[in-house]
Structure 1
Amino acid sequence: MVETDRIFIGGGGSSRKEAQAILLRYANRHGLISGATGTGKTVTLQILAESFSAAGVPVFLSDVKGDLSGLCEAGSPDAKLHDAFVKRAESIGFDDFGYDAFPTVFWDLFGEAGHPVRTTITEMGPLLLARLLQLSEAQEGVLNIVFRVADEEGLLLIDMKDLQSMLVHIGERAKELSLRYGNIATATVGAIQRRLLVLEGEGGAGLFGEPALELVDMIGTAQDGRGRINILAADRLMRAPRLYATFLLWLLSELFEELPEVGDPDKPVFVFFFDEAHLLFDGAPKALVDKVEQVARLIRSKGVGVYFISQNPADVPDDILGQLGNRVQHALRAYTPRDRKALKAAAETFRPNDAFDTEDAITQLGTGEALVSTLMEKGAPSVVQRTLIRPPSSRLGPATVEGKARAFDASPVAGKYEAAVDRESAYERLKAAAEEAARAAEEAAGSDEGDDRSYGGRRSGGGRAYRGADEAPRWREEPEYRSARRYKPAVAPKPARRRSSRSDSVGEALVKQVVRTASSQITRSLVRGVLGGLFRGR
């Protein structure tokens, strides 16, 4: 059922009641797809992606289970469910049902099942990065200082090693910076470094780097005018759920920041499906939830529709749930008192239908069946209808190897993001400063060594003036002096410990003290040059 102003969702079964559809001009008012596992949410997501693409609207979705890649291939009349699909299409009035493939671009944070997706530390920002690293309030404060200092000193934060270097830099200058920005505890810096190591272990380091993703590469149409379907391979990514949720939120925030205001267009500029939405809100601080609410409220005017997919509407905070005008509710199960409470809350969010009890209907829905309510004329929600979801036109389940290969060959960004680029940034700048400081320390140490080996001038403190090797006193040949001269006090053999005796002259005792002091100062200079130089800017 191809119509220019709406996308078809399904119908009322054998009675062929009024078709359920989302009006394209209200598709940017956001939506929700919810239901228990195995009730048909994935197929609903698939047919909505197909319909938006056919209407010329580009789409982004994450493939959590690996079975949405079939969008790049047409379904087949030889498929096991073909007869069931044809029967359902006839029963709901989907007269234009047929099989088709859709323009698809695959993405992958790990660069294995799709084009690599990267962003920079700076673009991620301290708020989302703190969420990703699970930082406390005090740790997030230090992270904000890191970003501030990097900005003031012109140090680019691109990848993980840039951030790690900046944390070391901040830690060394803690006393100085604490007077300007507040307390910077060494323990706090160390805790952030440990969280970065955990993120690296989860594979998160690959998210940060260049070339960074350009959103224009996602928001585009194919040559035939259909919107491109961007699929993020998330089956491996789901092993790090916080990384998954933070990346999707970053992408949504970037859309909000970069897209211009368009008001209320005839159809969305872009549709964003946020699968496993509960991962975004589980344990999220209020500041982050407020940011999501703000983005959801304001991004509509950018022409972006956001659709959350989750098992239960209760997974989405009420302030955000109230902004989701297009809803598809699959079956819910009520085995516990908590489940029954959530079921009742889900039923109360629909505009009631006198023909059935909404709460009872939610528990009676079969696979591929849902309660649907969308925005009608003037933006009012429709009465909830029990609906059979239309069959998909693309392949049901994962794509074949050949199908994905064809999609890669046809990708408009093939070869653009595959090779990483490592340009000069904070890490390289701080490393160069450290090396320069180390060289200066070595030169200073060499100068001090020359001074210690030549005693041509007078030494203060009452000792004699030794003008030549012939006049060198016997203590120059003692092991203690030789070890100081070689600057290897930790390796040189220790002389037999001598008792303090009156037989040592005052001059000998004084010279020994001078040598020991010079040795200690040189050692400290070397340590500060090698270690301290890492933290000082140019």
Structure 2
Amino acid sequence: MPDNKIFAEHISKGYNPQGEYIYLGAAMHQGEVHAEAAVKIPLKTMNRHGLIAGATGTGKSKTLQILAENLSEKGVPVLLMDVKGDLSGLAKPSNKEDFIFERHNKLNFPFEASGSPVEILSLSKEIGVRLRATVSEFGPVLLARILDLSPAQSGILSVLFKYCDDQHLPLLDLKDLKKILQYATEDGKEELERSYGRISAASTGAILRKIVSLEQQGADLFFGERSFEVEDLVRTNSQGRGYISILRLTDIQDRPKLFSTFMLSLLAEIYTGFPEQGDSDKPKLVLFIDEAHLIFEQASSALLDQIESIVKLIRSKGVGIYFVTQNPADVPADVLGQLGLKVQHALRAFTARDRKAIKLAAENYPISEFYDTKNVLTTLGIGEALVTALDEKGRPTPLAATMLRAPMSRMDILSLAELQELTAASALVQKYNAEIDRESAYEILNQKIDRADAEKAREKAREERKKLEKASSGRKRSSTGPEKAIVKVLTSATFIRGVMGVLNKLIR
């Protein structure tokens, strides 16, 4: 095997960016850390996406933390999906434990503790800036994919969105959507059929059931106003540091449908809202998706296709996406092939299935004359990883077993009091956390139905009144007819003469 000097030169040549870069650590060879073989990631290639993988407890979250805080320091805003709730410490400086300085002495790299500007976000009613989107903004195509609708059901959903547009009925939340589905096959059935064709009650019923299922995962908290504006993710503070927006998802780990719904909505909004950026010195925004398997495990094929398409195209908007998961196999092959930076922490070989997974994982990395990749994957320590990236010309860098630097920020979570203090000072909390429930399709359709019901009631009352008048008139005619006949008889000349004749006889 080549000696350490040749190895160090090999690594230094591969990781030698000319522009700004992020220092990850130093390469290791034959059990020795080579501080001169620094592993540096060019900042301009951070929009080429990436993967952070490894078994539980090997340091994935700390690697994510290192990348996020260094991007922020370079003026790049970051969005983190914090499923475990252990990333809020980015807001505070490191506690400077002894083992950190020991590590940095080996790396021959100075350590400076610092926190980053942090914004706490939430999809529910937990502490943080509330993230919402309206049903109209989601649109029928994206919503159909989230709900996994059939072509016929998707067509009906598109027709109903068109009807709401034509009638100026705002679709803001799920109660609006449920109301128009009910209206289409009940009170408004004839109206919609005249202009848009027949709408199957069976199909609207199936769509309603899927919406209810989505509601049970908390989507009713996500759909509504005020809609979050993605431009608020790309802010910098007065020192020019990018904001790290941490979306705390600890309360929706068991609701992957909601997580997927939000992620797809966000990616679509970023893709459509951000201008083309092309190649630039640094990304506009970088997203880190922790526990990425939650997105892919229960996603429909249509949803996976949408995610894959966006991942392929969003790079041109200056946006990088980084998936954090236990095994590269958790990420679909078509997505995995788009990832430029790969940081692979240790994998554990406890079973035959584990060994097979390690063999497959090793094939995702460049062949190296310095490493037996399958063996290295099982012997890496905590805070060590195999790294390969793209250089400034888009070429894969050499595979490097790397001792990673320590995070500059706290490697622990914020206390409740610290979280409350952070959110109390947030301008975005004031902007987005007010409850808004303005008049929308639900209220407008209910008013329309009430007016129609009132008109029907008035018409029915008019008909009943006519019937009563007719019946009353008939009774009057039938009761006065015999009376007139009796009067006519009693006043007739014949009757009077007869009576008078009887009286005359009696008098005589």
The match for 2:57 is 38
Offset, 1:265: 1.1
1:393 aligns with 2:390: no
**Would the aligned equivalents of 1:73 and 1:403 in 2 still touch at CA under 8 Å?**
no
**Would the aligned equivalents of 2:172 and 2:440 in 1 still touch at CA under 8 Å?**
yes
* Distance in structure 2 (CA, Å) of the matches to 1:341 and 1:232: 34
The alpha-carbon distance between structure 1 residues 311 and 179, as it changes in their structure 2 partners (threshold 3 A), is farther
1:369 aligns with 2:388: no
**More off after superposition, 258-267 vs 147-156:** 147-156
The match for 1:253 is 268
1:51 aligns with 2:60: no
Selected match of 1:358 from 373, 394, 407: 373
Offset, 1:472: 11
**Would the aligned equivalents of 1:56 and 1:226 in 2 still touch at CA under 8 Å?**
yes
The match for 1:71 is 90
* Distance in structure 1 (CA, Å) of the matches to 2:252 and 2:215: 13
Helix, strand or coil for the counterpart of 2:476?
Answer: coil
After TM superposition, the score normalised by the length of structure 2 is 0.85
The alpha-carbon distance between structure 1 residues 444 and 70, as it changes in their structure 2 partners (threshold 3 A), is same
Helix, strand or coil for the counterpart of 2:320?
Answer: strand
**More off after superposition, 268-277 vs 134-143:** 134-143
The alpha-carbon distance between structure 1 residues 126 and 277, as it changes in their structure 2 partners (threshold 3 A), is farther
The match for 1:207 is 222
* Distance in structure 2 (CA, Å) of the matches to 1:283 and 1:398: 29
The match for 1:480 is none
The match for 2:475 is 466
Matches within 5 A, 1:386-465: 386-455=401-470, 465=474
Helix, strand or coil for the counterpart of 1:187?
Answer: helix
The alpha-carbon distance between structure 1 residues 324 and 238, as it changes in their structure 2 partners (threshold 3 A), is same
Q: Quote the RMSD (CA, aligned, Å).
A: 2.5
Amino acid aligned to 1:122: S
The match for 1:158 is 172
Offset, 1:415: 0.9
The match for 1:229 is 244
**Would the aligned equivalents of 1:106 and 1:231 in 2 still touch at CA under 8 Å?**
yes
Amino acid aligned to 1:414: V
The match for 1:104 is 118
**Would the aligned equivalents of 2:130 and 2:429 in 1 still touch at CA under 8 Å?**
no
Selected match of 1:185 from 174, 178, 200: 200
**More off after superposition, 148-157 vs 103-112:** 148-157
1:290 aligns with 2:305: yes
**Would the aligned equivalents of 1:109 and 1:206 in 2 still touch at CA under 8 Å?**
yes
Offset, 1:301: 1.2
Amino acid aligned to 2:424: D
Amino acid aligned to 1:129: L
**Would the aligned equivalents of 1:118 and 1:212 in 2 still touch at CA under 8 Å?**
yes
Offset, 1:342: 2.7
Offset, 1:282: 2.2
Helix, strand or coil for the counterpart of 1:18?
Answer: strand
The alpha-carbon distance between structure 1 residues 472 and 281, as it changes in their structure 2 partners (threshold 3 A), is farther
Offset, 1:212: 0.5
Amino acid aligned to 1:160: L
The match for 2:134 is 120
Tell me the number of residue pairs that the alignment of Structure 1 and Structure 2 aligns. Answer: 461
* Distance in structure 1 (CA, Å) of the matches to 2:309 and 2:372: 34
Offset, 1:59: 0.4
Deviations 1:393-445 (A, max 9, x none): 11112112343233223323131111121222211221111111111112112
Selected match of 2:37 from 6, 13, 18: 18
**Would the aligned equivalents of 2:127 and 2:423 in 1 still touch at CA under 8 Å?**
no
Offset, 1:30: 0.7
**Would the aligned equivalents of 2:148 and 2:302 in 1 still touch at CA under 8 Å?**
no
Matches within 5 A, 1:85-96: 85-95=100-110
Offset, 1:98: 1.6
Offset, 1:142: 2.9
Offset, 1:134: 4.4
After TM superposition, the score normalised by the length of structure 1 is 0.80
Amino acid aligned to 1:231: I
Helix, strand or coil for the counterpart of 1:441?
Answer: helix
* Distance in structure 2 (CA, Å) of the matches to 1:111 and 1:343: 40
The alpha-carbon distance between structure 1 residues 170 and 362, as it changes in their structure 2 partners (threshold 3 A), is same
Amino acid aligned to 1:466: R
The alpha-carbon distance between structure 1 residues 445 and 184, as it changes in their structure 2 partners (threshold 3 A), is closer
**Would the aligned equivalents of 1:132 and 1:243 in 2 still touch at CA under 8 Å?**
no
**More off after superposition, 422-431 vs 61-70:** 422-431
The alpha-carbon distance between structure 1 residues 174 and 283, as it changes in their structure 2 partners (threshold 3 A), is farther
Amino acid aligned to 2:266: L
Q: Which runs of 5+ in 2 are unaligned?
A: 1-17, 483-508
**Would the aligned equivalents of 1:350 and 1:383 in 2 still touch at CA under 8 Å?**
no
Selected match of 2:158 from 144, 166, 181: 144
The alpha-carbon distance between structure 1 residues 469 and 179, as it changes in their structure 2 partners (threshold 3 A), is closer
* Distance in structure 1 (CA, Å) of the matches to 2:355 and 2:251: 33
Q: Which runs of 5+ in 1 are unaligned?
A: 459-464, 474-538
Deviations 1:257-312 (A, max 9, x none): 10001111100000011222222222433332222222112211111111111111
**Would the aligned equivalents of 1:158 and 1:210 in 2 still touch at CA under 8 Å?**
yes
Helix, strand or coil for the counterpart of 2:402?
Answer: strand
Deviations 1:77-120 (A, max 9, x none): 3xxxx11111111212322x121111000111113221111100
Amino acid aligned to 2:54: G
The match for 2:335 is 320
Offset, 1:337: 4.1
* Distance in structure 2 (CA, Å) of the matches to 1:169 and 1:294: 35
The alpha-carbon distance between structure 1 residues 290 and 403, as it changes in their structure 2 partners (threshold 3 A), is same
* Distance in structure 2 (CA, Å) of the matches to 1:467 and 1:184: 51
Deviation >4 Å, runs of 4+: 173-183, 468-473
**Would the aligned equivalents of 1:72 and 1:404 in 2 still touch at CA under 8 Å?**
no
Helix, strand or coil for the counterpart of 1:20?
Answer: strand
Answer with 1 or 2: which has the greater Rg: 2
The match for 1:513 is none
Amino acid aligned to 1:290: D
Offset, 1:126: 2.9
1:171 aligns with 2:185: yes
Helix, strand or coil for the counterpart of 2:242?
Answer: coil
The match for 2:492 is none
* Distance in structure 2 (CA, Å) of the matches to 1:264 and 1:448: 75
